[in-house]
Structure 1
Amino acid sequence: SSSIKGFSLKTIFPANPGEPSAYKWQDVDYDVIFTAETHNFPSGVAPFPGAETGSGGRIRDVQGVGRGGLVVAGTAAYCVGNLRIPGYLLPWEPPKNEFSYPDNLASPLEIEIEASNGASDYGNKFGEPLIQGFTRSFGMRLPGGERREWIKPIMFTGGIGQMDVRHREKNPPRKGMLLTKVGGPAYRIGMGGGAASSMVQGENVEELDFNAVQRGDAEMEQKMNRVIRACVEMGDKNPVVSIHDQGAGGNCNVLKELVEPEGARIDIRKVALGDATLSVLEIWGAEYQENNALLLDTENAGLFEELCAREKVPFSFVGEVTGDGRVVVFDSTDGSTPVDLDLKHVLAEMPRKTFEITRNEAVLEPLSLPRSLGIITALERVLKLVSVGSKRFLTNKVDRSVTGLIARQQCCGPLGLTISDVAVIAQSHFGLTGAATAIGEQPIKGLVNPAAMARMSVAEAMTNIIWAELTHIEDIRCSANWMWAAKLPGEGAHIYDAAVAMSDFMSAIGIAIDGGKDSLSMASVDRETGEVVKAPGALVITAYCTTPDITKTVTPDIKRPGASKLIYVGLGGDRHRLGASSLAQVVAQIGDEVPDIEDPAAFKCALEAVQGLIKDGVILSGHDVSDGGLVVTLLEMAFAGNCGIEVDINSGAEAIPTLLAEEAGLVFEVAHEDAELVENALHSKGVKYEEIGTATESRQIKISVNGKLALDEKMEGLRSLWEET
């Protein structure tokens, strides 16, 4: 987890944390925490428990920050192969006999449904709202003959929380401290999960893959969470010296990291077991869930025992810090010593690796649209793409407001449509300060140009988070999560190009990375043909920032049809590149030229101008241009506002590239009486803009390009297509 400085606030705490008591007012300083990770391999083998434990593990990352963190809300996302929904085959999906899928993995459709069920189920049971996300489906044979598809899926999960500033720093281990485990007991599950996740899918034995998947128990995690929360609420008297979540490697990883560099002596038989038949190896290495490790001073052992008894959560004092720099695991039942390691040989500075990478130039062909493809047919296809269409199937099954701290989630407008791209939390129930977070990712564009993909991913995150009032753009920090087949020929160079481009672009606009993780074995082997299928290289940028006023967040739903104007700010330099767009995907191509950001300074100026207008309260609604292009941005604003639009875009280009190119941009609604003020503010910042039309009460979508009518359809009909998949 990473954190940024939050605000001072007044809130209520138990007068005596950890026991029945009245609440009292208290002044505290809270930092904002963010963490993100993936659970790709487990979600491919067993989607429901794989995604469930992905969410649970990420929650423990929040708990494990500093000397204990407070969980607030989560995010989730899924990238899978061709869905091939029975009875609903889409024209761009390859025929069934063209692509085969491994028997040891769930199908893309199963993963999309069951993984999202697992993540939602865990959040619902734990009591964590899921307030943001995305999903993609892609599988295609590229011009050079290579098949690219998410056979090994992406299951991404992020979490936002808070931390008392007094608990920022973990205290170092000292001789005599108690090495403590709290949470669920050990079972024979998750054996070798971390190792299996780092392999090309299909290289392992099928039984070992299944055994490596963990199983979740959200009720147990909530019990453990209440213990940690009670410790945090004690403020200066927090008994936790240091805390670490148990994840990859199980006890053998978490315990040795917690006591580095002092070392510890551990009785393996003190670990709480749910299965008495476990071997020492299994107790030491299984990645069983809902478990954290922490250090306590001996005088706080009784207090911690009382907290655990109150919440009915298992705990055990498994060892003691020795100060000799060794981790010694002994078995008190037979006196044996199965592990005796010098920590400096295990966790000390490791030799730096040298990677030799080669460049493989992609075989690309210009995008060639069918001559018969009109704007209506193109739009019908694009609206059915799962990355563009309604995400109601993901949001309706999960709680998005529990805790009372959610100021903005996915659904907005009178119909509660799932189009809001910025999530906002409050820091307390009694003030207006909070934090905003938003996601950006454009993996298909990386098949053409990895550097442009990285810039567009950052741009999308920025054009999503900008709709919340931020303390300052340069206060934004980002988590960068890489999902790539980086070890395979040519891919190392691609991820390098993307990383350099991301770094340079972020530096140019004044933001930075402060966390993230990678999953660099994103490929699978077709056991029938031996073909290695690489997933599209993906960079997920999650931006987060403090907000001084959660009530000033702007949503995409049009607010005043008949009394407002629509303004478009293009950020792609008057280009209309269709490569790797949603349109390209639905004609089974990727093209050879993708959208990009050529002028970072102009991009930042536009963001600053919009922030100024949000602070002034003159933007009624706003939305970014991304998947599906400008036409989808306009449609979603009308869908959510339950109204029509009448616009004319003077692009100098043809209708299809004007409307369906995915160049970065912003569209916002302003009242007639504020239009001049808004346009003067944009002009003063040097921001190029176009007043493109109005929102109407007629529920008719009328879009012209260069004065020529391109689209004239009932809003409800287009919205039904958007909801169809």
Structure 2
Amino acid sequence: MTKFNSKLYAKAVESRKISQIQRDFETKSKKKLDISVEYCYHLVTEEPEFIESNWQKLETLLSHSPFEKSVWKESKLDLKHGNVIEIGPRTAVKTAACTNILNVFNSAGIQNIERVERGIRYLVSEDVDENAFFEIAADKMTDAIYPSDVKLDDESHSIEKVFLIDVLASKQNLIEANKQLGLALDQSDLDFYYDFFVNKVKKNPTDVELFDLAQSDSEHSRHWFFRGEIWIDEKKREKSLMASIRDTLKHSNDNSLIAFCDNSSSIRGFEQVWRLRPSDPSIASPMVSISSPSHLIYSAETHNFPTAVCPFQGATTGTGGRIRDIHATGRGAYEIAGTVGYSFGNLNIPGLELPWEDESFEYPTSISEPAKIAVEASNGASDYGNKFGEPVICGFARSFGQRLGNGERCEYLKPIMFSGGIGTIDEDEVRKESCSPHQKVIKIGGPVYRIGVGGGAASSVSVQGNRENQLDFAAVQRGDAEMGGKLHRVVRSCAERNEGNPLMAIHDQGAGGNGNVIKELVEGCGVTVDSNSFQLGDESISLRELWTAEYQENDAALVDPSLLEALQTIARREKCHISVVGDVVAEQRVKLIGKCGEVAVDLDTRQLGEREKKTFKLKHVPRVLQQLKLPENLTVREALGRVLKLATVASKRYLTCKVDRSVTGLVAQQQCVGPLHTPLADVAVVALSHFDTSSLFHSYTGKE
């Protein structure tokens, strides 16, 4: 079928982004930058007169405001005053925005259109280098510079093929692959996998298998340090850190329902909680009031490495991942509210000199500066929560960076981005069902993108690690809160279904992507996965990326075949895609079959088995602390001024005034108090029901 490429231009509403680009450009080039911008919509259609036949609807839907028609057939930028640099999504990538626009077009009766992508056209002076501008203005992993004749329907995408690493010939080939693929394998890992492939399975691994194992066995995924054998000053610690943490359960209340075995923890809640539920979650149906036992969930995680590399997206996906941890608990659960915290280094704000900040401190080029982290990370977490509909009810922010008495620098170079969440789970959904043959393995949520590749390995090396910056940037995921909301509503509807929950077990997709989550899901059995079954958002994706990318807003689940149609009905209502990617089999073997029938992964999970603990030898390092010395002639006013300028103590309006704090109607105490909402509360309280105040849950996050 013949395809036609068309363009429409529109008013751009990007004032905050333009201001940031101008600041970054001035910082790097030491000169000011004047910019004019407009949007450019690239349409791939099946009829030559598409724009003319649908002009009135297109003009209305693509305008920024219903009160202002701001869509044009010709560009409004004056090329006499400079050059135009257009930046848009990579042509091989069908973005989440495209999917949403097509859904709106379909509802408005606009047909015969295959794709819509939006680029931003920047009019800049002729002396601006487009590559340098791209580094400042774009996301290097998902964006590209468009030529004037760009075509989105160009299907000549180069796809990397599966290849073998010849470890049978030499261990050096494994060492080289470790460097080239950014696997972050240490010496014990290299020894283990060399022995595994040479002596146990007697075959050369594919690049997909090696990348898969590096993510699945990374510190991020397996917690080698917490589970390891620790020696301190040549004295062996009696228990691992993980064992010590688990032992706390022996001395706590006997109310733990889920601990150390699922995506969140849960304690016993209330025997009778009144709630409204749809009588049939798959259609628009009457709401009914029910009373049933409801238990409390809390989940927390940090997203430090991604936030250091790309603060906005790192914090966005930290929030999104933690929300999925909540709803992927048991066989499906419900989120209520979130908490968030940030720890970062000295802010070094221009024009604000603070005596404890050292101008000689240098920051690695692979991570963002603390001021950028403080602003953009909080923007990212707030942005996702606002779009998803989850309130942030409490949190903390702290800053520290000093030179100690022995000359050692102590600072939050790699920041802490803490995300916590509160939720509930029904009593009959607490336990996941074990896998068994003939169950369906499905993926729910967003399509496969080339993002979050190698995140498990990347976050397991130090800030000054030996990975390339480009590999680090590739390892950061990109969030899509709208798709996250669709996914959550599908899981929620399954859990609310009176005729039985189709989800036997569910896990959110995290580090290691499909390779990790599917192996976890079918533990004790096996599966053959068909790569052709996945929904692709990027047609140029390789099998290695499909299998290991931590693309966002996606869960894997085991489904009862007899209830698959019910699940698909719910998903169609929410416009959320479901892919049936395989059937559970009795043999404990995981296979991935490529588009042309090639076997990219073939692993006997029994042979992998449990590895020996890693050994960590540590030494106490005496910390030289200086005695407190107050500056001479320091007045009370000056001392108070210093304290109030410290980010840990200073106003948190930059955090509290851009985020939903009480949406859902279940927030009894939010983070701001008083008639002017200026002081911060020291506790947050949420209800489990709209109908009574007996089922309340208190949360505290912060510092004394």
- The normalised TM-score by structure 2 is 0.61
d(CA) in 1 for partners of 2:329 and 2:518?
A: 16
d(CA) in 1 for partners of 2:517 and 2:368?
A: 31
5+ unaligned residues in a row in structure 2: which ranges? 1-263
Corresponding residue for 2:624?
A: 363
Corresponding residue for 1:285?
A: 548
Corresponding residue for 1:306?
A: 569
User: 2:395–2:702: 8 Å Cα contact kept in structure 1?
Assistant: no
User: 2:442–2:557: 8 Å Cα contact kept in structure 1?
Assistant: yes
SS of structure 1 residue aligned to 2:491? helix
d(CA) in 1 for partners of 2:397 and 2:665?
A: 26
d(CA) in 2 for partners of 1:91 and 1:368?
A: 13
d(CA) in 2 for partners of 1:21 and 1:60?
A: 26
User: 1:263–1:324: 8 Å Cα contact kept in structure 2?
Assistant: yes
Corresponding residue for 1:190?
A: 452
Corresponding residue for 1:509?
A: none
| 16-25 or 107-116: bigger deviation | 16-25
| Letter paired with 2:654 | F
SS of structure 2 residue aligned to 1:339? strand
Which of 410, 428, 431 in structure 2 is aligned with 1:169? 431
> Does 2:580 match 1:317?
yes
Corresponding residue for 1:65?
A: 329
> Does 2:594 match 1:328?
no
Deviation of 1:86 (Å): 1.4
| 156-165 or 200-209: bigger deviation | 200-209
SS of structure 1 residue aligned to 2:596? coil
Corresponding residue for 2:380?
A: 118
Corresponding residue for 1:428?
A: 689
User: 2:404–2:626: 8 Å Cα contact kept in structure 1?
Assistant: no
Deviation of 1:254 (Å): 0.4
Corresponding residue for 2:462?
A: 200
User: 1:391–1:418: 8 Å Cα contact kept in structure 2?
Assistant: no
User: 1:44–1:111: 8 Å Cα contact kept in structure 2?
Assistant: yes
SS of structure 1 residue aligned to 2:365? coil
Deviation of 1:372 (Å): 2.2
SS of structure 1 residue aligned to 2:621? coil
d(CA) in 1 for partners of 2:616 and 2:372?
A: 37
> Does 2:370 match 1:108?
yes
> Does 2:303 match 1:39?
yes
d(CA) in 1 for partners of 2:333 and 2:413?
A: 35
- Map 1:698-717 → 2, pairs under 5 A: none
User: 1:38–1:154: 8 Å Cα contact kept in structure 2?
Assistant: yes
- Map 1:460-609 → 2, pairs under 5 A: none
d(CA) in 2 for partners of 1:156 and 1:251?
A: 25
Which of 273, 284, 287 in structure 2 is aligned with 1:23? 287
Change (3 A) 1:335 1:402: same
Q: Deviations over 1:324-380 (max 9, x none)?
A: 11111112x32211111122234x433223322111111123222234234332222
d(CA) in 2 for partners of 1:397 and 1:418?
A: 16
Q: Deviations over 1:598-618 (max 9, x none)?
A: xxxxxxxxxxxxxxxxxxxxx
Q: Deviations over 1:658-695 (max 9, x none)?
A: xxxxxxxxxxxxxxxxxxxxxxxxxxxxxxxxxxxxxx
Change (3 A) 1:222 1:418: farther
User: 1:34–1:160: 8 Å Cα contact kept in structure 2?
Assistant: yes
Change (3 A) 1:418 1:315: farther
> Does 2:677 match 1:416?
yes
Which of 499, 504, 515 in structure 2 is aligned with 1:252? 515
Corresponding residue for 2:275?
A: 11
| Letter paired with 1:93 | E
Deviation of 1:146 (Å): 0.4
| Letter paired with 2:637 | I
SS of structure 1 residue aligned to 2:482? helix
d(CA) in 1 for partners of 2:689 and 2:673?
A: 22
d(CA) in 1 for partners of 2:502 and 2:667?
A: 29
d(CA) in 2 for partners of 1:66 and 1:365?
A: 50
Q: Deviations over 1:139-198 (max 9, x none)?
A: 111001001111111111111111011100000001000000000000111111111111
Which of 338, 345, 348 in structure 1 is aligned with 2:600? 338
Change (3 A) 1:344 1:375: farther
5+ unaligned residues in a row in structure 1: which ranges? 442-625, 627-725
| Letter paired with 1:154 | I
Corresponding residue for 1:230?
A: 493
Corresponding residue for 2:394?
A: 132
d(CA) in 1 for partners of 2:607 and 2:663?
A: 46
d(CA) in 1 for partners of 2:431 and 2:498?
A: 13
d(CA) in 2 for partners of 1:207 and 1:404?
A: 43
Corresponding residue for 2:658?
A: 397
User: 2:311–2:380: 8 Å Cα contact kept in structure 1?
Assistant: yes
- The normalised TM-score by structure 1 is 0.59
User: 2:280–2:498: 8 Å Cα contact kept in structure 1?
Assistant: no
User: 1:130–1:398: 8 Å Cα contact kept in structure 2?
Assistant: yes
Which of 470, 483, 487 in structure 2 is aligned with 1:220? 483
SS of structure 2 residue aligned to 1:181? strand
- The number of aligned residues is 438
> Does 2:312 match 1:48?
yes
- Map 1:593-672 → 2, pairs under 5 A: 626=704
> Does 2:349 match 1:88?
no
d(CA) in 2 for partners of 1:377 and 1:86?
A: 20
Corresponding residue for 1:159?
A: 421
SS of structure 2 residue aligned to 1:237? coil
User: 2:299–2:422: 8 Å Cα contact kept in structure 1?
Assistant: yes
**Aligned-pair Cα RMSD in Å:** 1.3
User: 2:483–2:576: 8 Å Cα contact kept in structure 1?
Assistant: yes
User: 1:72–1:162: 8 Å Cα contact kept in structure 2?
Assistant: yes
> Does 2:647 match 1:386?
yes
SS of structure 1 residue aligned to 2:641? helix
| Letter paired with 1:138 | F
User: 2:340–2:396: 8 Å Cα contact kept in structure 1?
Assistant: yes
d(CA) in 1 for partners of 2:576 and 2:455?
A: 25
Change (3 A) 1:344 1:373: farther
- Map 1:675-694 → 2, pairs under 5 A: none
d(CA) in 2 for partners of 1:115 and 1:60?
A: 19
| Letter paired with 1:19 | I
Q: Deviations over 1:489-520 (max 9, x none)?
A: xxxxxxxxxxxxxxxxxxxxxxxxxxxxxxxx
Q: Deviations over 1:584-604 (max 9, x none)?
A: xxxxxxxxxxxxxxxxxxxxx
d(CA) in 2 for partners of 1:360 and 1:87?
A: 37
User: 1:18–1:227: 8 Å Cα contact kept in structure 2?
Assistant: no
SS of structure 1 residue aligned to 2:443? strand
User: 1:67–1:241: 8 Å Cα contact kept in structure 2?
Assistant: yes
User: 1:395–1:418: 8 Å Cα contact kept in structure 2?
Assistant: no
| 432-441 or 225-234: bigger deviation | 432-441
Deviation of 1:4 (Å): 0.8
SS of structure 1 residue aligned to 2:700? strand
Deviation of 1:84 (Å): 1.1
Deviation of 1:109 (Å): 0.4
Deviation of 1:236 (Å): 6.4
User: 2:345–2:399: 8 Å Cα contact kept in structure 1?
Assistant: yes
d(CA) in 2 for partners of 1:434 and 1:349?
A: 42
Change (3 A) 1:235 1:159: farther
Q: Deviations over 1:213-242 (max 9, x none)?
A: 110000000011110110111156111100
Q: Deviations over 1:426-472 (max 9, x none)?
A: 0011111121111245xxxxxxxxxxxxxxxxxxxxxxxxxxxxxxx
d(CA) in 2 for partners of 1:368 and 1:420?
A: 32
User: 1:35–1:158: 8 Å Cα contact kept in structure 2?
Assistant: yes
User: 1:126–1:218: 8 Å Cα contact kept in structure 2?
Assistant: yes
> Does 2:526 match 1:263?
yes
d(CA) in 2 for partners of 1:214 and 1:364?
A: 39
User: 1:327–1:341: 8 Å Cα contact kept in structure 2?
Assistant: yes
Q: Deviations over 1:544-565 (max 9, x none)?
A: xxxxxxxxxxxxxxxxxxxxxx
